[in-house]
Structure formats: C-alpha cells, structure tokens
Structure 1
Amino acid sequence: MSQLKLSLVLITHNAADQLAACLDSARDLVDDIILVDSGSNDGTQALAEGYGARIIAQPFLGFGPQKRLAVSHALHDWVLCLDADERLTPELLASIRRTLQGAPTHSAFRLARRNRFFGRYLGHGEGYPDWNIRLFDRRAANWTEDLVHEYVRCQGEPGSLQGDLLHDSAEQIGSYIAKQNRYTDMQAELLFKTGKRVGAAKLFTSPLARFIRFYLLRGGWRDGAAGFAHIAIGSFFAMIKYAKLMERWRQHDGR
C-alpha cells in the first residue's frame, strides 16, 4: 500500500548546528522539504539545500504567522512540522509511516515531545509527555496566528502517535533564560493589546499554581535537579509575564 505524500516543514534562524540531525531523522519519510529562514548567517540555508530543501527567505513574522507561511509553501497537503532542534525516534517514524498508509483516521495527530534539559531527557512534569500536534492535513488544520505559544487548531479531535519526538535543545541555562525573557516580552505585549489586566495577586498565584501542577501533581520531582530547575524557571517566568504586563499598563496610564 502506497504512503500519502508528506512535506516536512521548518522555520529556522541560525540552526546549522542542529538542523542536520533533524533532517536525517525524517529524510526517508518525506517527499518534500520546505524551510522558511529568517536571515541565518551560519550556513543553515546551504546545509538545508544539501538535503534538497526549498528555501524561502522571510523576515520573522512571529511564530504562528511564520509557520503558516511555511505550511502554505508545502507541495503536499499532509505536512510534518518540526523545529531544527527536534528529531524523530525510530518508533515515532514508524508510527507516522503506518498512519499515512491509506486513509488516516484523523485530520491531525499529536506527538509526545520529550524535552532535554540540564543534560538529560525529562520524563515527567511539563517536560514529558509534552503533547504537540505536528502531523496534519492542512486542508483541515493549521497553525494559529499567535506570535508566541502558537499551536495547531484542527477539525475534530486529533489522534495520538506512538514514539517520542526528541527536543534536543543543547542550550546553556543563560541562553534558556534569555529565550524565556524574550517570550514573556511578546506574551505581555499581546495581553496588553487585548486589554488584559491583572492584579498583584496574579504574581503570586500564577507561579505557585504552575509549580504545584507540574512539580507535585505531574511528578516533576522524579527528574531530580533537572526537573526542579526546569519547572522553577517556568514558574518564575509565569510571574514575570504578568509583572511585565502590569508594568506596560503603568506606562500606558502614566503612573
């Protein structure tokens, strides 16, 4: 039985040090590779071209719009969206291949992402299973327009695939914190534009609720120091997001 044609879709910026492993993990599965790049100067584009990828140069529009643009350039309706620091395990690759044999039972499928942090792959808390819809029929699903924390909205319930999507971010703690700082800048600005206001109590309840949920209820403590650091940093930036929003309103109100 023939497999449905599949396009691999990526957005990149200076991802040359991780992109090859991502493409190697999926190259035998896909029929088309489209990469939308926002000004890389480290050889990312040349590396991708070596894998037969088609390159679209596009200044960064925000995560959701950038990914929607990439999906629109795919040759096939079924797309697999990956980040450069992600790779398919053999079990997940086999699961995708089985799913695309004949008629898939859903218009979209979610993958269990396993995040690497502090030198180890997390197995609990918010680090695993970090479910993400990444395989879908673009006629019935697509990325939202959110500039940050975008997600795939689909018709009906998504299916779930076996196997892990390894998120092999090799970031140092400093660069991880810098990234979270940038994300909370964007989140706070989006909340401000929608008219969202919060009180001081939110600065306390938001990080506390996040820590209890992921560290205690979802077993993040089982991942040792890595699990604690991952969840503690996430909880801290849950507070920072709202602190930045409050600051934005004070500036707006002239206080």
Structure 2
Amino acid sequence: MKDPKISALLIVFNEEKNIEEALKSVEFADEIIVLDSFSTDKTIEIIKSKFPRVKLYQNKFEDFTKQRNMCISYAKNDWILFLDADERITSELKTEILKEIKKPVTQTAYFFKRKFFFMGEKVNYSGTQNDKNIRLFKKEVAHYDENKRVHEGLSNVDNPGTLQNYLLHFSFDSYEAYHKKVLHYSHLKARDLYEKRIQYKKMKQLSKSAFNFFKMYFLKLGVLDGRKGFILSYLSALSSFKTYEFLKEEYA
C-alpha cells in the first residue's frame, strides 16, 4: 500500500513578510500550491526565486471561499493541508500529521489547535486559548461552504479529529494591519447578511458590538492579556459594529 500524499495549499496576497517561512514549514508536503491574488509586493518574486517546485497560480480575489475552492481544484493528492501565510507548521506538528495520515483508519478532517501571536507577542487568553481550525482534510470532503465569504468552513465534514501539537499563528505585527483586516472582513460579512435579507437594526448593531467586547475581555479573559487583550477585544467589537455599518450601506 502506498503512503498517502499531501498537497499543501496557500491563498495569498502581498505576503512578502510571511511567504518564505510559511512555505519552508510545508516543504515536507508532496505538492505545494499557491494561489495568489495578483500581489503587488515581492511575494511572487520570492516564490519563483526560492521555491521552484511550488505550483503558482493567480486569480482575482472575490472572496475567501471562492479562492480556497479554486486552490483545491489544482490539488492532485488525497490529503489537503491548508495553511494561511501567517501560520507555521512546527516540526512536532509535522511529525504528528505524517503519523496520523498513515494510520489504517483516519478521520476525514482534523482541527489544528493554534498558538496566537499579536504584535510579536504570544497571546494566552482573549479567546485564543480555545482557538482551532480545520487545516488537514481528505480531498473527498474538500469543498468550502459557498454561503460564507469569510470565516469559511468545509461544507460536508462530520466529527473531525483534533491533533495535539500546535500550529503557530503570527497574526499581525501592528494594530494598523489588524484594523485593515477587520474592515475587509466586516465588508464581506455584511454582503453575506444582505444576501440573506437580514435587516439593519441600530440596537442590534450596538448590542452585538458591546457584547463582543464584554465576551472577549471578561468572559474569555482578555483582561489577563493586558493591553493586547484590550486591543483585541476592541477590534472584536469594531468588527460587529462595522459589519452592520456596511450592511446599512447595502440597503441605502
């Protein structure tokens, strides 16, 4: 019986700061595919000059779900390992991945637990203590739910497993970068709500924003992360607030 093979996939845009380390961390994969959204920095140059075996494609960005599903369409192997450019596979996680997929009986998908870093420092609370995402799955279930433009998830996975070693998530090195992402994601989420005909309500906007701050800062112990916890809680509240602001604009 042949050993199972892995296709490592990344969707990227202007990731010159991250792309080299991200690709190095998945060099153990049998195939590496990058789908780029026409980066304007040195992302493409770095890939072509330092990673000749990477299969590079480009497609104009519409939303995360479409990009991920398109990237999957290029993959040839039975297992898909999806990585964001700001994530890193550790040597311990690599060993666990290779051991797990060689078992006689496996799950169809696996959660990776993540250690979260913000502005160069590890975040221990603020909800990140329970942070996990499906990053490894069989190609037979490899399809992202097209009803979600952001915070996308696989549409047909039941009872995924969880690997024990951590994926490192170097989220943002500055407040400005995170703020920019919050606005981008909020706009995409607003489009989802609009297409579902969810109506804009001022009280719902205010209450959800306030609750998101309270939940992250107090219930999820962001207060124990000090200044970082306050910033992350504020940005969580801002995400809700801006989502409804953009939703209101959709109806204007």
Preserved CA contact (<8 Å) 2:120 2:170: no
Percent identical among aligned pairs is 30
Preserved CA contact (<8 Å) 2:172 2:178: no
Deviation at 1:243, TM superposition (A): 2.6
Q: Which amino acid aligns with 2:22?
A: C
The equivalent residue for 1:45 is 44
Note the residue ranges of structure 1 that are not aligned, 5 or more in a row.
none
Number of residue pairs matched by the alignment: 249
The equivalent residue for 1:64 is 65
The equivalent residue for 1:235 is 237
Matches of 1:78 and 1:171, distance apart in 2: 31
Change (3 A) 1:59 1:211: same
Q: TM-score, normalised by structure 1?
A: 0.90
Please give the secondary structure, in 2, of the residue aligned with 1:168: strand
The equivalent residue for 2:165 is 163
**What whole-Å deviation, never above 9, does each CA across 1:140-162 have from its counterpart, x for those lacking one?**
24222222221223332110011
Change (3 A) 1:19 1:81: same
Deviation at 1:245, TM superposition (A): 1.5
Matches of 2:218 and 2:107, distance apart in 1: 33
**What whole-Å deviation, never above 9, does each CA across 1:189-232 have from its counterpart, x for those lacking one?**
22112211142221222122222322222222221211121111
Please give the secondary structure, in 2, of the residue aligned with 1:109: strand
The equivalent residue for 2:89 is 88
The equivalent residue for 1:132 is 133
Q: Which amino acid aligns with 2:202?
A: A
The equivalent residue for 1:177 is 179
Q: Which amino acid aligns with 2:214?
A: I
Q: Which amino acid aligns with 1:33?
A: I
Preserved CA contact (<8 Å) 2:126 2:232: no
Preserved CA contact (<8 Å) 1:65 1:144: no
The equivalent residue for 1:218 is 220
**What whole-Å deviation, never above 9, does each CA across 1:109-164 have from its counterpart, x for those lacking one?**
01112222133121222333321101000202422222222122333211001121
Matches of 2:19 and 2:77, distance apart in 1: 22
Between 53-62 and 39-48, the greater mean CA deviation after superposition: 39-48
Deviation beyond 6 Å, 4+ runs, structure 1: none
The equivalent residue for 1:97 is 98
2:153 maps to 1:154: no
**What whole-Å deviation, never above 9, does each CA across 1:43-74 have from its counterpart, x for those lacking one?**
32343243211011211131001011101101
Preserved CA contact (<8 Å) 2:22 2:86: yes
Q: Which amino acid aligns with 2:103?
A: G
Matches of 2:220 and 2:171, distance apart in 1: 22
Preserved CA contact (<8 Å) 2:120 2:173: no
Matches of 1:127 and 1:188, distance apart in 2: 24
Matches of 1:170 and 1:8, distance apart in 2: 22
Please give the secondary structure, in 2, of the residue aligned with 1:205: helix
Preserved CA contact (<8 Å) 2:6 2:77: yes
Match of 1:188 among 187, 190, 209: 190
Deviation at 1:2, TM superposition (A): 6.3
Q: TM-score, normalised by structure 2?
A: 0.91
Matches of 1:3 and 1:19, distance apart in 2: 28
Matches of 1:234 and 1:194, distance apart in 2: 22
Between 124-133 and 65-74, the greater mean CA deviation after superposition: 124-133
The equivalent residue for 1:21 is 21
Calculate the aligned-residue CA RMSD, in Å: 1.9
Please give the secondary structure, in 1, of the residue aligned with 2:126: coil
Matches of 2:69 and 2:154, distance apart in 1: 10
2:218 maps to 1:209: no
